[in-house]
Structure formats: C-alpha cells, structure tokens
Structure 1
Amino acid sequence: MAPRFSRSITAGASLARKRAWLSAGCALLFAHTATAQSLDAPQAATTAVTGSTIETGASPAATDPQTTGAVASSDLPPALDEDFNRLNRREETTDGLRMRIDPEAGQAPGIRIGSFVLKPALSETFNHERQKNGSASQSRTFLETGLKGTLTSDWARHQLSVIGEGVLQDNISGEGEEEPRADVDAELRLDLSDETTAKLSAGYSFEREDANDPNAIANAVEQSAVNTYRLGAAVERDLGLVRGSLGLDFERQTYGDVELDNGTTLSQEDRNRNTGTLTGRLGYELSPALIPFLEASVGKSIYDLRRDTLGFERSYMSYAGRAGMEVDLGEKLNGELALGYETFRLDDDRLGDLGGLSVDGRVNWSPKRGTDVLFGLLTYLDPSTTAGNPGSINYELTNIITHQLRSSLVATLSNSLTLRDFPSDAAASDEATWRTGAGLTWDMSRYLALTGDVSYERTNRDIGPSSDTTRVGVGLTLRR
C-alpha cells in the first residue's frame, strides 16, 4: 500500500484495455457453464470472423481480481482481479475473436419483453476472508448479494444490448473493508450494409479502490470511490481480404474523498481526468486461419486540475503501435499475439516519458470436449502521482481452465501473475502479485446453481512487507 500522498492512477485508456481483454475469460466460463446441461450434445459450429471489432471503451463483449465470484455460477474464483468477475469488458484488440460455444444452450430462457429478452440472475454467497500485511492481519465474514442481467433485442436488423451487474457486501463479523461495485454497459450495433457495421456504446462503473492496491491511501478508513463514465463510437469495414476499423473512445474517471484514521479528509480531486483515444486497425486475410494486422492508437488525458497536490502537471499524450497475427484453427484452437510499443508523454518535463515494449495476446484451446483453456498476456502503463515518478509498466499473465466433471458439474482453476516495473530511479519499488483460485458450480436445474470457491493472493515487494489474502465462499444463484 502506498504511503499517504504517494498515490498513482491508472490511465483511462490503459485501464480500459486491461479490463477489456480479461472479459474473454469470463465469456469463456459463461459459455462453458451454459453447456453444462448438454454434455452429450454435439459441439457448436465454428463462428467465422468476417469483420473486426473496434476497441471501444464500453463494448459489451465483456468481463480485476479481488472478490468472491458471487454474482453468477459462471464467475471466476474470487482470487482473480475484479475485472475477471465483470461482464462488460471490450475485446483487447479491434479484431478480437468471437466465442465458439453457443451461450444459449442449456440456459434459462429469460423473460420476453416486447422485442427484447431479459435474462436476470440473483445470487447470495456466504464468504470468509483473511488478510495479512506484514505482521498485521485481520479477517472478516460477510454476505455478498449480486444482481446481474442482460437485455437483448430480437430485431431482424441491428441490435441493442444492455448488460448490468451490481454487488453489495455486508460484513457479519470481523474487520475489513466492504467492496461494492456496479457495472452497466449498452451497445447499439447498426448494420449499415453487408460490409459495414457501426457501433455506439455507453457505460458506467463504480468500485472502491482496493486497500491492498499500490494506489491506495495507507491510513484510510475507507478507500476512494471510483466512478467511470464511458462513451464510444466505431465503424468496421470488411473489404474481402482486407478489413479495417476505426473507433473513438471517451472516458471520465472521478475519485471520491478519503476519510483518514485521524478524522481528517483527503481530497482526491487532483486525480479526476478525461481521456480520449482514437484507435485504428488494419488486417489482411492470408487465409481464413491466418490474419496479420497492424494497430495504432493516439490519445490525450487531461486532468481537472492542471497541477496535482505535489505541483506536477500529470496530463499526457499517449501513443501505441502493435503488429500481430490472428490465428483461427476452429473451435479447438484460436487466438492472437501482438508485439508493440506504448508510451505516455507527460506534460511535466521533470517526470520524463513513461513507455516500454508491449506483449499482448490471447489463446483459447480446447484439448477435448468439456475442457477449455485460456492463456492471456497483457501490457499496460500506469502513471503515478508520486513525486518525481512517472509511473510503471505492468505485465500480466493469465491462465483459466474449466472442465466438466459431469453434465451438471463444472470445475474451474485460474491463475494470474502481475509484474509491476518502475523506472530504476523511481522511489516506488517493483512488485509481483500472484493469484490462484478454484471453484465448483453445480447446476441443480437450469434455474438454480450451487457454487463454491476458494482463492489465495500474494504480493511481494522489493521494498516493504508482503501481503496475503485468502477467501472461501459458498452460495446459490437463481436464474430466470
């Protein structure tokens, strides 16, 4: 945890990217759970990718590791970053691959409202958590109530989809900060022609900054409330062997005041910012299985206050370029890998530039029917508000395995490693966070599921104490 006044903030565009590609893991689990009722049925047919999906800030393609997955049976184990447990995260790249499994198979039919179909899910879980930071430790027992729903149009042309999720925690005993969160995202797809598609998107997210996050305030009674507002517009064009996309994202983040343990209040106003990003991608189809691509983005982040409380100008320009290959070998193996470079050029010359090599990718592998494996790589920049420190470059490696033990019983194993690398002359120390979790989902019927999860998280720092968090939970999910 950072000392008081030693805070950092995740850049809008980078945070959106981080939260976006992790959604592929949730989508994979959701699809896998959906087919739990029909193990003996033939596998779904492969869906060919004929266009590109622009990387917008609120694409409902959908779902950071710190809470018990209580919202639905398809959620990941609690040790992973909360972003894994969220629905509405966009694809990591503009040509993100679609899921190969039919998400409707074996699921509750939903409620028809005119030309829309509503699919709600209500969950309640009983959890126990133990946190240790150096020699200090605390534990709590809490109930977590989750409400999740999707509203999708059933139109012959165009489509409107709204995906929402809300989670409330209520401590029953012990000490520990409650972690409420909410997400709502909407996307309108306009089929302008057979080759051209436009997308308009909007979204809102609420969360509390994690008490163990490097950005948190050390002596806070309750961490800052973070509100994120998103707007996006994109156009995709398929020209046969060549496909392209262009999108514009806007994101605003605001941070609430923090109450300190000495009774005073620390304003976080200097962290509020607006970020706009323009992203373009061009791909060429060598064959239906191989599509090399180039992707570039440019953005501007402007803080509400020209100078932060330490007197630094934190606004910046962002630039990124990547080259990669998309591989589609059918439902058994598909994914993509890209190499590139990202940089933030801060307005204050005393801070210098923040940048580094980026490695991003995602591979979906199904070694046999009933088993799905996801591998993910992500690079993002995280600017800081620590005096003289421009920020860090972060690398994340993720692995998620789901396996159908029986037609109605699904097991999940998930692991992730995050490396946070600061410049050599920075006051902050490098750190590594490892998370692992396991879970079971028993579909007692298409409307009711029993879930159980256990997870462990450890953060090692070059300077300062290490921290550990252990969680276990059991719950019920009611679907309609």
Structure 2
Amino acid sequence: MWLCPDVLKSIQNRSILICILMLGAFPWCSAVAQTIDLEFRDSLAFENESNADFENPSETDAAPFEQLIEEGRSHTATQPPVSTVNQQLTGASRSSRAAKFSERVAAVSRLSRPVGGGGNADEGIFDGETVQDRPVGIQLGSLRLTPSFDAGLGWTDNAEQANGGTPDGFYEVDAAVGVVSNWERHELGLELRGSLRAFFNEPDNNQPVVTGRGNVRLDLGDLTTADIDGVYSFSREERSSAENEASTGRTNSVQEIGGRFSLNRQVSLVQLRGGIGVDRAVYGGQMSSSQPRDNTVFDATLRTSFDTGAAFEPYLEGGFLVRKYDQDCNSDPSCFDRTSRGYFVKAGVSVDRGPKLRGQFGIGYRAEYLDDDRLEALQGLIFDGAFVWSPTRRDTVTVSGATSFSGTNISGASGSILYAGDARYAHQFTQNLVGDVQFGYTYRTYQGVDIVEQEGSGSFGLVWAFSKDAALLSRYTFRAFESSTPNSNYTSSLIEAGLRIRR
C-alpha cells in the first residue's frame, strides 16, 4: 500500500517548491501578524495577571469578526447544496475543480443536521472564505441567487496525467449559480456548475466537468422531515486508470445520475432515518471492450441514532442494494453477468461539541454477491466520516475519509473498492487574505484481479479579496500516481492563478 521509492523521491524533490513558497510567505505573514491580535475562542479563557506576558483580546478587537457573524447570519443559514463528503473524496480524481474548503465545512455540518432543518450555519467557525467578497446573493422574492465566475491561466508538466506526459499551458473557467429559498417552513436548494480546463497544445487532454444538484426539505411536523436529493455530473475518465479504454484521443465520458428520498423522525431519544436511492453510471466514447459497464444501483437504508444529550451520539446503519448492468448476457458463455445483490452494515459515533469540534465517523462491512459464479464477491471493510476542528477563529482543520464501491468490465474482475482520505488546514492571515494546505491519499483495489492503484496529492493555495465582488486566486498542486498496471505510474505538478467574481 506504499508508494514506491522512486515516486517518494519525486514527491520529496518537488515538495521543495511548496516549502519555498511557504518559507517565503512566513516573514511577510509575521509582519502582518504583529499588527493583528489573535482571537481565541471564549472557551479558551485566560485571566489577566500582573506577571502574565499576554493580555486578553479586547472587545473592540473581536468586534469586526462578531459583526460579520451577525450580519451574515441572515444569508448563511441557508446555503446552496454541496456534494457530500463521500462525493467530494471519491469523485475528485476525475474533476478539474477540487472542492472548496468551505464546501467541506458545509458538508460536515449537514452530517449533524438535526430533524427540522438547520445545522448549516456554524457560528464562529472560520470556513476558509475571505470576508470582503463573501457572497450575499441577489434576492428574487423568496429565493436568493448566488452567481460566481472564475477564470485563470496555468501550467503543468504532465497535461495527460499519465506516464510519459508532456508539459502544457492551459486556461480554465468555472461558472456556477446557486438558488436557495427563504421560507418559514420547508427548504429548497439548487446549484448548477460547469468548468473547463482547456490545454493550448492538445485539446484531447481537456477536462470538462458539469455538475448539478438539488435538495428539497419538507417539514412534515416538528419532529418529522422528508428530504429529496438529486445529483448529476459529467466528466472524463483519467487516462492512467485501469478502466480507461481509449488508447488515443479523448478518454471516455462518465455521467453519474443519482436521486434519494429519505424520511426522518425523532422518537423520544431516538432519531430514525430511512431512505431509498438510485445511482446510475453511464460511460461513453471509445469502447475497446465488448461488454459495456453502464449500471444502476438501487438501495434501501435505515439509520438509528441515539440522542442522549451528550457530546457523543452513537448510531447504527444498514441497508440492502441491487446492482443491475444494462447488458443482458443471454446465455453467452464469454459474457460475465455482473448483476449483484448485497448489503452493508455500519456503526459509528457523531460528535458535536459546538463550534469547536463537530463531525462523525463510522466503520462497517459491505458485500455484493454477483450472479455469475465465476466472479468473486465484491466485499470489504468500509469506513466514512469527517470532522471539523476550529481551535481559533482564524484556523480550521478538516479530516475526512470515505469508501466507494464501483462496477467494472475488466475481465475476471467483480468491481473495485476505493478508499480515500484527506486532511485540510485553512488560516486567515487577514480578513481578506486566506491560505490553505491540503494532503490526500487514495487506494483502489480490484476484486478478482491483481490491480491496485494509489495516489498521493498535496496542494497549497492563497486567496486575496481586493474588492467586495472580486478576489485573486493562486494554487500549486502535486500528484503522484502508482499502479500495478505496467507503464501507468506518473507524477505531475500544476500551477494556476486567476480571478474570482461573485455576488
């Protein structure tokens, strides 16, 4: 499960650039810090003593931040829907746009959202956003629109993201619009986003990504709610993936469509959540295999959590699923019937210690038993969860993990299991200058064949808001990919900078 020595050496050499950037920023940040009083949480109280070397921050020092919270409460309590932590982690490899730090914070907040709504606004938590250009939206009756547009230029030493890749420059655009409701009861949230990373020398390496998601919450009573969620995404498969069937030209397109209906009910100290869902994957483009891999997963789940009023809330979750492939073998002996039925069980704990620490973690087991006796069961350990820790008003840390099961058409393989995790840290140098550091790792194993894929990544970014509607963005990203498939290993460095406009 470890990256080979050559890749580790490459990571070490290329990480020098990140160190130079950070060391170069420290003296300037130190000068800025001398003019800014640190604002610790009220829970970290200190008493002024005659022999102490520090003083409590004054009320006026904290006033700008507290005023921001009060002014922003009216328009941050309801936010456009963001992808779940699982979607952010398991779908990041095919996306040219990584999830923003604030999206991760919002996704973790939703994990602990109580019956009856709320839970999206974590007062006092720094969400990685700059203050001056914080979006307020455009009010249209009882709906609020939050448009945004990013554009920039960049360069990478591996445009193909594959073994033997070539350097190339690119331009990138990212446009999005969110819609949220401002109703006394119920809640509506929609978001549509499209991005394109277009390379100058080779258009076949372009990375288009389109996502759309929506959520409707129906308040059926004080202790009963219903949620309807939908999601759509379009992207292109990575060239180095074992699933990629396009040896030349553009890689295959991947479309994912999903929907879920869930019912939540609070009964005394027990919260029940049951739901049914459907997730469909459609692949297009060049197909070297005779067996398509388009498939649909239907599932039914039930979760029981116990709210005892303590900071730790245990939960149990389980469900059944059916994976159906579009192709019917029709007694063809060369065809693998990968239609499967399975289950999963999981136990975990939610943590809610106010704005200081919040999140949940669960561990369990999942199994899919395929109709074709020649194929092994797709089964293994599962874990997922995410935590947000905010030690001070200017610092926030998120740690996340997720497991994903995917179908395949690789001969002899039942499917693949992806384990993904990352850690992110954001710091507010000033109200309009924010930096973040991210590290991630993924491990994919294929059941029935000897194929293992690993990837390590790291990035460092800065955002400077210079007006109420605009900010400058910059980021450096390094990736190292290793696969048991011959001639698939690669490393890549990417530098990008651009302008963000939002309302």
Same fold (TM over 0.5): yes
**CA separation of 1:373 and 1:86: change in aligned 2, threshold 3 A:** closer
Matches within 5 A, 1:256-295: 256-258=284-286, 266=288, 270-295=292-317
Q: Quick check: 1:197 aligned with 2:219?
A: no
Contact 2:342 2:369 in 1 (8 A): yes
Of the three residues 367, 390, 398, the one matched with 2:414 is: 390
Q: Within the alignment, does 1:412 sit opposite 2:445 as a pair?
A: no
**1:17-74: CA deviation from partner (whole Å, max 9, x where unpaired):** xxxxxxxxxxxxxxxxxxxxx99413969xxxxxxxxxx9987998533588769xx8
Whether 1:130 and 2:157 are equivalent positions in the alignment is yes
Deviation at 1:332, TM superposition (A): 1.1
Verify the 8 A CA contact 2:86 2:402 in the aligned structure 1. no
Please name the residue that 1:477 is paired with.
Answer: 500
Moved over 4 A (4+): 56-63, 66-71, 84-99, 101-106, 132-135, 265-269
Q: How does 1:78-93 map to 2 (within 5 A)?
A: none
Aligned in 2, Cα 1:379/1:201: closer, same or farther, shift over 3 Å? closer
Distance in 2 of aligned mates of 1:339 and 1:61 = 14
Of the three residues 90, 100, 122, the one matched with 1:75 is 100
Equivalent position to 2:324, from 302, 309, 330: 302
1:53-101 superposed Cα distances (whole Å, 9 cap, x missing partner): xxx9987998533588769xx8369xxxxxx899999967998975524
Q: Are the aligned partners of 2:113 and 2:120 in contact in 1 as well (CA < 8 Å)? A: no
Aligned to 1:117, which of 141, 144, 152?
144
Query: 1: distance between equivalents of 2:104 and 2:166?
Result: 24
Question: Could you tell which deviates more after superposition, 247-256 or 128-137?
Answer: 128-137
Structure 1 residue 467 corresponds to structure 2 residue 467: no
Is 1:245 the counterpart of 2:273? The answer is: yes
Name the aligned partner's letter for residue 299 of structure 1: L
Conserved 8 A contact 1:62-1:91: no
Q: Tell me, what secondary structure is at the counterpart of 2:292? A: helix
TM-score w.r.t. length of structure 1 = 0.78
Q: Is the 8 Å Cα contact of residues 280 and 295 (structure 2) preserved in structure 1?
A: yes
Alignment of 1:230-379 (within 5 A): 230-258=258-286, 266=288, 270-307=292-329, 311-379=335-403
Contact kept in structure 2, 1:228 and 1:252, CA below 8 Å: yes
Worse overlay, 202-211 or 101-110: 101-110
Runs (5+) with no aligned partner, structure 1: 1-37, 46-55, 78-83, 259-264
What is the CA–CA distance in structure 2 between the aligned matches of 1:396 and 1:152, rounded to whole Å?
Answer: 30
Q: CA distance change for structure 1 residues 416 and 60 in 2, over 3 Å: closer, same or farther?
A: closer
The code of the aligned residue for 1:251 comes to: D
Once residues 112 and 333 of structure 2 are traced to their aligned partners in structure 1, the CA distance between those partners, rounded to angstroms, is: 36
Deviations, residues 301-336 of structure 1 (Å, cap 9, x unaligned): 111102399510111113110011111111111222
Q: Does 1:184 align with 2:212?
A: yes
Percent identical among aligned pairs is: 24
Q: How many angstroms apart in 2 are the aligned matches of 1:70 and 1:451?
A: 13
Give the structure with the higher percent strand: 1
Q: Per the alignment, do residues 343 and 293 of structure 1 end up closer, same or farther by CA in structure 2, a change over 3 Å counting?
A: same
- The CA deviation at 1:214 is 2.6
- Label 1:39 to 1:250 Cα distance change in 2 as closer, same or farther (>3 A): farther
Distance 1:288 1:90, change over 3 A: closer
Q: Cα RMSD between the aligned structures?
A: 3.4
Distance of 1:93 and 1:312 partners within structure 2: 41
AA of the residue aligned to 1:352: E
CA drift of 1:420 comes to 2.1
What secondary structure sits across from 1:41 in the alignment? helix
8 Å CA contact retained: 1:310, 1:387: no
Residues 326 and 422 of structure 1, relative CA distance in 2, 3 Å threshold: same
Residues 69, 400 of structure 1: alpha-carbon distance in 2 compared, 3 angstrom cutoff: farther
Q: Distance in 2 between matches of 1:427 and 1:59?
A: 30
Q: Using the alignment, how far apart are the partners of 2:411 and 2:245 within structure 1? A: 15
Whichever residue aligns with residue 172 of structure 1, its letter is F
- Tell me by how many angstroms 1:447 deviates: 0.7
Distance in 2 (CA, whole Å) between partners of 1:249 and 1:268 is 29
Q: What residue is the counterpart of 2:476 in the other structure?
A: 454
What is the letter of the counterpart of residue 414 of structure 1? Q
Structure of higher RCO (CA pairs closer than 8 Å, 6+ residues apart): 1
How far apart are 1:110 and its partner, in Å? 1.4
Match of 2:182 in 1: 154
**Cα distance, 1:86–1:371 mapped onto 2, change above 3 Å:** closer
* Counterpart in the other structure of 1:65: 92
How many correspondences in the alignment?
417
- State the TM-score, normalized to the length of structure 2: 0.75
CA–CA distance in structure 2, aligned partners of residues 86 and 471 of structure 1:
25
Render the CA deviation track for 1:197-230: whole Å, top value 9, x for unaligned.
Answer: 0112223211111222232125131111122222
Task: Work out whether residues 187 and 202 of structure 1, in 8 Å CA contact, stay in contact via their aligned partners in 2.
Answer: yes
User: One-letter code of the match for 1:41?
Assistant: F
Deviations 1:175-209 (A, max 9, x none): 76101011111111111111000112223211111
Q: CA distance change for structure 1 residues 174 and 371 in 2, over 3 Å: closer, same or farther?
A: same
Whether contact under 8 Å (2:94, 2:238) holds in the other structure is no
The answer to whether the 8 A contact 2:195-2:209 is kept is yes
Q: Letter of the 2:285 partner, please give it.
A: D
In the alignment, the residues of structure 1 paired with residue 261 and residue 373 of structure 2 have an alpha-carbon distance, to the nearest angstrom, of 33
In structure 1, distance between residues paired with 2:114 and 2:299: 17
**Computing the radius of gyration over CA atoms, which structure comes out larger, 1 or 2?**
2
2:432 & 2:86 partners in 1: Cα distance?
26
Q: 1 CA distance for matches of 2:474 and 2:454?
A: 27
**Alignment gaps of 5+ in structure 2:** 1-61, 71-80
Distance change in 2, residues 1:303/1:437 (3 Å) = same
Contact 1:109 1:119 in 2 (8 A): yes
- What is the CA-CA distance between 1:428 and the residue it aligns to? 3.2
CA separation in 2, counterparts of 1:332 and 1:140? 43
